[in-house]
Amino acid sequence: MTSRANNLPATLLSALPDGQLSHSVFKTMSETDAQLERFAWLGDELALAVWRRDTPVAQTSYNQPGHHTLSFYLDGGHRTERWELPGLYGAPKRLCTLPDWHESSWTVRGQMHFMHVYFLPEHFTRRAVVELDREPRELTLADRTYFEHERIARLCASLASMPWEGADAQLRANETTHETLSHLLLAQSVPQHQARVRGGLAPAVRRRLADYIEAHLAHNITLGVLAELACLSEYHFLRMFRTSFGMTPSAWIAARRIDHARALLKTSGQPLQQIADACGYADLSHFSHRFRTAVGAAPSHYRSIVAA
Protein backbone atom coordinates (compact mmCIF):
# COMPACT_ATOMS: atom_id res chain seq x y z
CA MET A 1 0.00 0.00 0.00
CA THR A 2 1.18 3.53 -0.57
CA SER A 3 -0.04 6.65 1.21
CA ARG A 4 0.99 9.44 3.50
CA ALA A 5 1.25 8.52 7.17
CA ASN A 6 2.38 5.87 9.58
CA ASN A 7 -0.12 4.98 12.29
CA LEU A 8 1.51 1.84 13.67
CA PRO A 9 2.09 1.73 17.43
CA ALA A 10 5.66 1.59 18.66
CA THR A 11 5.09 -1.86 20.20
CA LEU A 12 4.31 -3.28 16.78
CA LEU A 13 7.30 -1.60 15.18
CA SER A 14 9.72 -2.88 17.80
CA ALA A 15 8.40 -6.41 18.41
CA LEU A 16 8.43 -8.10 15.02
CA PRO A 17 8.65 -11.89 15.33
CA ASP A 18 11.12 -13.90 13.33
CA GLY A 19 9.80 -15.24 10.05
CA GLN A 20 9.21 -14.36 6.44
CA LEU A 21 5.71 -13.01 7.00
CA SER A 22 6.68 -10.35 9.53
CA HIS A 23 8.86 -8.39 7.10
CA SER A 24 6.26 -8.32 4.33
CA VAL A 25 3.40 -7.44 6.67
CA PHE A 26 5.47 -4.72 8.34
CA LYS A 27 6.11 -3.12 4.94
CA THR A 28 2.43 -3.30 3.99
CA MET A 29 1.21 -1.89 7.30
CA SER A 30 3.80 0.84 7.72
CA GLU A 31 2.79 2.39 4.40
CA THR A 32 -0.94 2.74 5.07
CA ASP A 33 -2.77 5.85 6.26
CA ALA A 34 -5.65 3.85 7.74
CA GLN A 35 -5.98 3.77 11.51
CA LEU A 36 -4.92 0.45 13.05
CA GLU A 37 -7.36 -0.61 15.78
CA ARG A 38 -6.12 -4.13 16.58
CA PHE A 39 -3.26 -6.38 15.53
CA ALA A 40 -1.98 -9.83 16.50
CA TRP A 41 0.66 -12.30 15.39
CA LEU A 42 -0.96 -15.73 15.70
CA GLY A 43 2.00 -18.02 15.04
CA ASP A 44 2.20 -20.35 12.04
CA GLU A 45 3.07 -17.26 9.93
CA LEU A 46 -0.44 -15.84 10.40
CA ALA A 47 -1.44 -12.32 11.41
CA LEU A 48 -4.68 -10.37 11.90
CA ALA A 49 -5.41 -6.65 11.78
CA VAL A 50 -8.53 -4.48 12.08
CA TRP A 51 -8.40 -1.10 10.34
CA ARG A 52 -10.62 1.98 10.14
CA ARG A 53 -10.77 4.82 7.60
CA ASP A 54 -12.91 7.94 7.85
CA THR A 55 -11.91 10.39 5.11
CA PRO A 56 -13.95 12.19 2.45
CA VAL A 57 -11.74 10.83 -0.37
CA ALA A 58 -8.43 8.97 -0.28
CA GLN A 59 -6.37 6.90 -2.67
CA THR A 60 -4.35 3.83 -1.82
CA SER A 61 -2.57 1.09 -3.75
CA TYR A 62 -1.07 -2.37 -3.42
CA ASN A 63 2.18 -3.26 -5.13
CA GLN A 64 3.23 -6.90 -4.82
CA PRO A 65 2.99 -7.05 -1.02
CA GLY A 66 4.84 -10.39 -0.73
CA HIS A 67 2.07 -12.03 1.31
CA HIS A 68 -1.52 -13.07 0.67
CA THR A 69 -4.31 -10.97 2.20
CA LEU A 70 -7.93 -11.82 2.89
CA SER A 71 -9.95 -8.63 3.45
CA PHE A 72 -13.35 -8.63 5.17
CA TYR A 73 -15.53 -5.53 5.37
CA LEU A 74 -17.02 -5.07 8.82
CA ASP A 75 -18.80 -1.79 8.09
CA GLY A 76 -18.98 0.90 5.42
CA GLY A 77 -17.02 0.79 2.18
CA HIS A 78 -20.12 1.59 0.13
CA ARG A 79 -18.22 4.03 -2.11
CA THR A 80 -14.85 2.29 -2.14
CA GLU A 81 -13.86 1.01 -5.58
CA ARG A 82 -10.86 -0.41 -7.37
CA TRP A 83 -9.65 1.64 -10.32
CA GLU A 84 -9.48 -1.45 -12.51
CA LEU A 85 -13.14 -2.27 -11.66
CA PRO A 86 -15.03 1.06 -11.63
CA GLY A 87 -18.57 0.96 -10.34
CA LEU A 88 -18.03 -2.10 -8.15
CA TYR A 89 -18.29 -1.06 -4.50
CA GLY A 90 -17.68 -2.59 -1.12
CA ALA A 91 -20.21 -3.32 1.62
CA PRO A 92 -20.35 -5.09 4.99
CA LYS A 93 -19.62 -8.83 4.79
CA ARG A 94 -17.98 -8.51 1.37
CA LEU A 95 -14.59 -10.10 0.90
CA CYS A 96 -11.49 -9.49 -1.22
CA THR A 97 -8.48 -11.70 -1.85
CA LEU A 98 -5.17 -10.04 -2.65
CA PRO A 99 -2.39 -12.50 -3.58
CA ASP A 100 1.28 -11.81 -3.00
CA TRP A 101 1.79 -10.72 -6.63
CA HIS A 102 -1.24 -8.42 -6.53
CA GLU A 103 -1.14 -4.84 -7.84
CA SER A 104 -4.12 -2.48 -7.66
CA SER A 105 -5.18 1.10 -6.96
CA TRP A 106 -8.25 2.14 -4.99
CA THR A 107 -10.37 5.19 -4.28
CA VAL A 108 -11.77 5.26 -0.74
CA ARG A 109 -14.73 7.52 0.05
CA GLY A 110 -16.19 7.96 3.49
CA GLN A 111 -16.08 5.57 6.42
CA MET A 112 -14.99 1.95 6.25
CA HIS A 113 -14.07 -0.63 8.87
CA PHE A 114 -12.33 -3.83 7.78
CA MET A 115 -10.25 -6.79 8.92
CA HIS A 116 -7.22 -8.27 7.17
CA VAL A 117 -5.87 -11.81 7.48
CA TYR A 118 -2.21 -11.98 6.40
CA PHE A 119 -0.59 -15.28 5.42
CA LEU A 120 2.13 -16.66 3.19
CA PRO A 121 1.64 -18.28 -0.23
CA GLU A 122 3.37 -21.40 1.10
CA HIS A 123 0.93 -21.58 3.99
CA PHE A 124 -2.00 -21.45 1.62
CA THR A 125 -0.81 -23.87 -1.04
CA ARG A 126 0.62 -26.54 1.31
CA ARG A 127 -3.00 -27.42 1.99
CA ALA A 128 -3.37 -28.27 -1.70
CA VAL A 129 -1.71 -31.66 -1.27
CA VAL A 130 -3.80 -32.75 1.71
CA GLU A 131 -7.14 -31.11 0.97
CA LEU A 132 -7.28 -31.00 -2.84
CA ASP A 133 -4.81 -33.68 -3.96
CA ARG A 134 -2.93 -31.02 -5.94
CA GLU A 135 0.70 -29.94 -5.93
CA PRO A 136 1.45 -26.67 -4.11
CA ARG A 137 3.12 -25.20 -7.18
CA GLU A 138 -0.05 -25.71 -9.26
CA LEU A 139 -2.28 -23.29 -7.32
CA THR A 140 -2.32 -19.75 -6.03
CA LEU A 141 -4.83 -17.44 -4.39
CA ALA A 142 -7.25 -15.77 -6.81
CA ASP A 143 -7.23 -11.99 -7.23
CA ARG A 144 -10.87 -11.30 -6.34
CA THR A 145 -12.49 -7.97 -5.54
CA TYR A 146 -15.78 -8.03 -3.64
CA PHE A 147 -17.19 -11.52 -3.45
CA GLU A 148 -19.51 -13.13 -0.94
CA HIS A 149 -19.08 -16.44 0.85
CA GLU A 150 -21.36 -17.21 3.79
CA ARG A 151 -19.03 -19.57 5.68
CA ILE A 152 -15.88 -17.46 5.23
CA ALA A 153 -17.75 -14.31 6.20
CA ARG A 154 -19.10 -15.98 9.34
CA LEU A 155 -15.61 -17.11 10.34
CA CYS A 156 -14.17 -13.66 9.69
CA ALA A 157 -16.89 -12.04 11.77
CA SER A 158 -16.07 -14.48 14.56
CA LEU A 159 -12.37 -13.60 14.32
CA ALA A 160 -13.14 -9.89 14.47
CA SER A 161 -15.32 -10.27 17.56
CA MET A 162 -13.09 -12.61 19.60
CA PRO A 163 -10.23 -11.38 21.82
CA TRP A 164 -6.67 -11.68 20.43
CA GLU A 165 -4.69 -10.67 23.51
CA GLY A 166 -2.87 -13.38 25.43
CA ALA A 167 -1.64 -16.83 24.47
CA ASP A 168 -4.99 -18.59 24.92
CA ALA A 169 -6.93 -16.05 22.85
CA GLN A 170 -4.32 -16.13 20.09
CA LEU A 171 -4.49 -19.92 20.04
CA ARG A 172 -8.26 -19.82 19.53
CA ALA A 173 -7.86 -17.19 16.81
CA ASN A 174 -5.15 -19.33 15.19
CA GLU A 175 -7.53 -22.31 15.00
CA THR A 176 -10.33 -20.20 13.50
CA THR A 177 -7.92 -18.71 10.96
CA HIS A 178 -6.79 -22.18 9.89
CA GLU A 179 -10.42 -23.13 9.31
CA THR A 180 -10.96 -19.93 7.34
CA LEU A 181 -8.00 -20.67 5.06
CA SER A 182 -9.25 -24.19 4.38
CA HIS A 183 -12.53 -22.77 3.10
CA LEU A 184 -10.63 -20.10 1.18
CA LEU A 185 -8.53 -22.76 -0.55
CA LEU A 186 -11.68 -24.48 -1.76
CA ALA A 187 -13.39 -21.27 -2.85
CA GLN A 188 -10.62 -19.03 -4.19
CA SER A 189 -7.69 -21.08 -5.48
CA VAL A 190 -6.74 -20.80 -9.15
CA PRO A 191 -4.01 -22.34 -11.34
CA GLN A 192 -0.61 -20.71 -11.25
CA HIS A 193 0.22 -18.59 -14.30
CA GLN A 194 2.65 -20.88 -16.04
CA ALA A 195 2.54 -22.74 -19.30
CA ARG A 196 3.53 -26.13 -17.97
CA VAL A 197 4.39 -27.74 -14.65
CA ARG A 198 7.81 -29.34 -15.11
CA GLY A 199 9.63 -31.93 -13.06
CA GLY A 200 8.41 -33.40 -9.83
CA LEU A 201 6.68 -36.67 -9.12
CA ALA A 202 3.93 -38.19 -11.21
CA PRO A 203 0.49 -37.62 -9.58
CA ALA A 204 0.05 -41.33 -8.85
CA VAL A 205 3.46 -41.48 -7.15
CA ARG A 206 2.75 -38.34 -5.12
CA ARG A 207 -0.54 -39.84 -3.91
CA ARG A 208 1.16 -43.13 -3.08
CA LEU A 209 3.77 -41.33 -0.99
CA ALA A 210 1.23 -39.08 0.76
CA ASP A 211 -0.96 -42.07 1.60
CA TYR A 212 2.01 -44.08 2.86
CA ILE A 213 3.16 -41.26 5.13
CA GLU A 214 -0.35 -40.76 6.55
CA ALA A 215 -0.67 -44.49 7.24
CA HIS A 216 2.74 -44.77 8.91
CA LEU A 217 3.00 -41.61 11.05
CA ALA A 218 3.27 -43.84 14.11
CA HIS A 219 6.40 -45.50 12.71
CA ASN A 220 9.89 -44.52 11.65
CA ILE A 221 9.67 -43.39 8.01
CA THR A 222 13.03 -43.50 6.26
CA LEU A 223 14.21 -41.72 3.15
CA GLY A 224 15.25 -45.05 1.66
CA VAL A 225 11.75 -46.53 1.96
CA LEU A 226 10.15 -43.43 0.40
CA ALA A 227 12.65 -43.37 -2.45
CA GLU A 228 12.00 -47.06 -3.08
CA LEU A 229 8.25 -46.41 -3.22
CA ALA A 230 8.92 -43.74 -5.85
CA CYS A 231 11.36 -46.00 -7.76
CA LEU A 232 14.05 -43.32 -7.59
CA SER A 233 17.51 -42.94 -6.15
CA GLU A 234 17.56 -41.09 -2.84
CA TYR A 235 19.38 -38.16 -4.48
CA HIS A 236 16.80 -37.68 -7.23
CA PHE A 237 13.93 -38.45 -4.88
CA LEU A 238 14.83 -35.56 -2.58
CA ARG A 239 14.68 -33.06 -5.43
CA MET A 240 11.47 -34.45 -6.88
CA PHE A 241 9.74 -34.61 -3.49
CA ARG A 242 10.58 -30.99 -2.71
CA THR A 243 9.20 -29.94 -6.10
CA SER A 244 5.90 -31.79 -5.65
CA PHE A 245 5.32 -31.26 -1.91
CA GLY A 246 6.89 -27.85 -1.44
CA MET A 247 9.28 -29.03 1.30
CA THR A 248 11.71 -31.81 2.17
CA PRO A 249 10.42 -35.26 3.22
CA SER A 250 11.49 -34.71 6.83
CA ALA A 251 9.74 -31.34 7.02
CA TRP A 252 6.58 -32.77 5.45
CA ILE A 253 6.49 -35.72 7.85
CA ALA A 254 7.08 -33.43 10.84
CA ALA A 255 4.25 -31.13 9.74
CA ARG A 256 1.84 -34.02 9.18
CA ARG A 257 2.64 -35.42 12.64
CA ILE A 258 1.82 -32.08 14.22
CA ASP A 259 -1.39 -31.79 12.17
CA HIS A 260 -2.41 -35.31 13.19
CA ALA A 261 -1.69 -34.55 16.83
CA ARG A 262 -3.77 -31.37 16.65
CA ALA A 263 -6.69 -33.30 15.19
CA LEU A 264 -6.50 -36.02 17.85
CA LEU A 265 -6.29 -33.48 20.66
CA LYS A 266 -9.35 -31.66 19.34
CA THR A 267 -11.53 -34.65 18.50
CA SER A 268 -10.57 -37.49 20.84
CA GLY A 269 -10.14 -38.13 24.52
CA GLN A 270 -7.07 -40.31 24.03
CA PRO A 271 -4.34 -40.00 26.68
CA LEU A 272 -1.37 -37.88 25.66
CA GLN A 273 0.95 -40.88 25.63
CA GLN A 274 -1.37 -42.66 23.20
CA ILE A 275 -1.43 -39.61 20.93
CA ALA A 276 2.36 -39.36 21.09
CA ASP A 277 2.62 -43.01 20.03
CA ALA A 278 0.08 -42.56 17.21
CA CYS A 279 2.05 -39.63 15.82
CA GLY A 280 5.44 -41.33 15.92
CA TYR A 281 7.15 -39.46 18.76
CA ALA A 282 9.81 -41.27 20.74
CA ASP A 283 8.19 -40.45 24.09
CA LEU A 284 5.79 -38.04 25.73
CA SER A 285 8.54 -35.54 26.51
CA HIS A 286 9.63 -35.44 22.87
CA PHE A 287 6.03 -35.01 21.74
CA SER A 288 5.41 -32.18 24.19
CA HIS A 289 8.59 -30.38 23.14
CA ARG A 290 7.87 -30.68 19.40
CA PHE A 291 4.23 -29.70 19.81
CA ARG A 292 4.99 -26.67 21.97
CA THR A 293 7.65 -25.49 19.50
CA ALA A 294 5.29 -25.83 16.53
CA VAL A 295 2.02 -24.64 18.07
CA GLY A 296 3.09 -22.44 20.96
CA ALA A 297 1.29 -24.41 23.65
CA ALA A 298 1.75 -27.70 25.47
CA PRO A 299 -0.52 -30.51 24.20
CA SER A 300 -2.61 -30.57 27.38
CA HIS A 301 -3.09 -26.81 27.32
CA TYR A 302 -3.92 -26.85 23.62
CA ARG A 303 -6.60 -29.49 24.24
CA SER A 304 -8.13 -27.45 27.06
CA ILE A 305 -8.39 -24.41 24.78
CA VAL A 306 -9.60 -25.86 21.47
CA ALA A 307 -11.89 -28.47 22.97
CA ALA A 308 -13.61 -25.97 25.25
Question: For domain 10-191, which CATH number applies: 2.60.120.280, 1.10.268.10, 1.10.3210.50, 3.40.50.1820?
Answer: 2.60.120.280
The span from the CA of 241 to the CA of 262, in Å, is: 24
| CB of 243 closer than 8 Å to CB of 137 | yes
Q: Phi/psi class of residue 36: alpha, beta or left (left: φ > 0; alpha: ψ in -120 to 50)?
A: beta
Q: Give Cβ neighbours of residue 274 (< 8 Å, ≥ 6 apart).
A: none
Q: Give Cβ neighbours of residue 194 (< 8 Å, ≥ 6 apart).
A: none
* C-alpha to C-alpha distances, 206 to 20, 38, 62, 258, 266, nearest whole angstrom: 27, 41, 36, 20, 28
pLDDT digits (tens, 9 = 90+) for 169-193: 999 999 999 999 999 999 998 887 6
Q: Which of 48, 123, 62 is nearest to 98 (CA)?
A: 62
| pLDDT at res. 13 | 46
Percent of all residues in the chain with a pLDDT value above 90, rounded to a whole number = 66
What pTM, to 2 d.p., does this model score? 0.87
pLDDT at 4 over 80: no
Domain boundaries, the chain: 10-191, 203-306
Distance of CA 90 to the CA centre of its chain: 24
Phi (first) and psi of residue 235, to 5 degrees: -65, -50
Total residues belonging to the chain: 308
Question: For domain 203-306, which CATH number applies: 3.30.300.130, 1.10.10.60, 1.20.1070.10, 1.20.120.1810?
Answer: 1.10.10.60
Q: Phi/psi class of residue 295: alpha, beta or left (left: φ > 0; alpha: ψ in -120 to 50)?
A: alpha
The span from the CA of 201 to the CA of 206, in Å, is: 6
pLDDT at 195 over 80: no
pLDDT digits (tens, 9 = 90+) for 215-268: 999 999 999 999 999 999 999 999 999 999 989 999 999 999 999 999 999 999
Q: Which of 89, 49, 97, 93 is nearest to 70 (CA)?
A: 97
